Structure 1
């Protein structure tokens, strides 16, 4: 039976890498798939991983209708065995409903990949709807680590290395960007609550007060 599957995790957990691996495995066996993404770090119309792997994808922006797109493709003589939708947290709830219809009405497996919560620890609307509708939810097994070495469970937004907790839910950035621009970092719950990013921790470790405490 076809399924709607949601592969969920934090940033740095390998979700895009897994999406590309699923695409590779199925295409190697002669299956034909359709790949969608939204707001990928590599730019519009691309699905990429931090390992450097990239493939072309259909940009599923605001107003994009997955079900209508697949119906047009099939009725024009095309064939699709499966669908991959990366960065699914950015999808509108209605678009997730469309993906469910692709499974139920067209009999096509849909594999979605995304992070569950934003930098404020609140569910993304797309992720929330996937949790509500998915036939299966898979937690990605690659554990991202906080700077302290503990398992990272929360996504933090940073500006110049300092964590922020206010602002628009979706601001595209990446790990390791230049100071004073938007970046993201994964943290354990404790350090997310304390707003202690890696940069802040390193600065504290080098401060005179911290060095005095250490010497005592």
Structure 2
């Protein structure tokens, strides 16, 4: 039976790097993968997965109303797909996560999703909440706070470098806007 996997972490844990390595492993064995990323994430251009260490690959940019199951079913009918990989999975809709479960259950293709668990206010993203509820396997990727402890929180910082407490849940950014921290230092940064 194929499964849905959710690899989650705070910022800067190497999620995109692990996704690209997984895809490479399939390709190295002559198997086809399909890569997806939500269209809302435009940091490196539409339809790209890129890691901070420089690895990158083309991906299909998904709009929130797109049916990922239909994309994969059509692609699989044309040429077998061995694995589906999704970057920035926190931005998926619940419906899209449900479609990913159908890819695993009906098409029998494993689905590997990578994303943040929570936002800058320690609230679950819709895609992450759905994956935490529906994925077969949950795998935490670890990164560290500046103190050396495991980072589990994502601090949003303003132009002045200070922690931000309020704002829209989704504000696309990288190291310029977010810092991974342990819970203690996250709380101190917002005090």
TM-score (norm 1): 0.83
Question: What SS does the aligned partner of 2:145 have?
Answer: coil
Q: Based on CA coordinates, which of the two structures has the bigger radius of gyration?
A: 1
Whether 1:8 and 2:12 are equivalent positions in the alignment is no
Q: Does the 8 Å CA contact 2:119/2:154 hold for their aligned counterparts?
A: yes
Pair 168,196 (structure 1): closer, same or farther in 2 beyond 3 Å: closer
Give the drift of 1:74: 3.1
RMSD: 1.4
Maintained 8 Å contact 1:90/1:125: yes
* Corresponding pairs, count: 188
The CA distance in 1 between the partners of 2:75 and 2:150, in whole Å, is: 42
**What's the CA shift string for 1:83-114, capped at 9, x where partnerless?**
00010001011100000011111111100001
Is residue 2:188 matched to residue 1:186?
Answer: no
Contact persistence 1:40–1:87 (CA under 8 A): no
For 1:57 and 1:110, locate their aligned partners in 2 and report how far apart those are by CA, in whole Å.
14
Alignment of 1:142-181 (within 5 A): 143-160=142-159, 161-175=161-175, 177=176
1:103 matched to 2:97: no
Offset, 1:192: 1.0
| Alpha-carbon distance, 1:194 to partner | 1.6
2:114 corresponding residue in structure 1: 113
5+ residue gaps, structure 1: 178-182, 198-216
Deviation at 1:25, TM superposition (A): 0.6
Q: How does 1:1-216 map to 2 (within 5 A)?
A: 1-38=1-38, 39=41, 41-75=43-77, 77-140=78-141, 143-160=142-159, 161-175=161-175, 177=176, 183-195=177-189
Tell me how far apart the structure 2 counterparts of residues 41 and 21 of structure 1 sit (CA, whole Å): 20
1:71 positional shift:
2.0
Cα shift at 1:144: 1.8
Is this contact kept in 1: 2:155–2:186, CA < 8 A? Answer: yes
Cα distance between partner residues in 2 of 1:159 and 1:63: 31
Relative contact order, higher structure (CA 8 A, sep 6+): 2
Any stretches of 5+ residues in structure 2 without a counterpart? none
Whether the aligned pair in 2 keeps the contact of 1:157 and 1:164 (CA below 8 Å) is yes
For 1:67 and 1:144, the matched residues in 2 are separated by 32
C-alpha separation between the residues in 2 aligned to 1:74 and 1:16?
A: 23
Does the Cα contact within 8 Å between 1:37 and 1:45 map onto a contact in 2?
yes
SS in 2 for 1:162: coil
SS of structure 2 residue aligned to 1:83 = strand
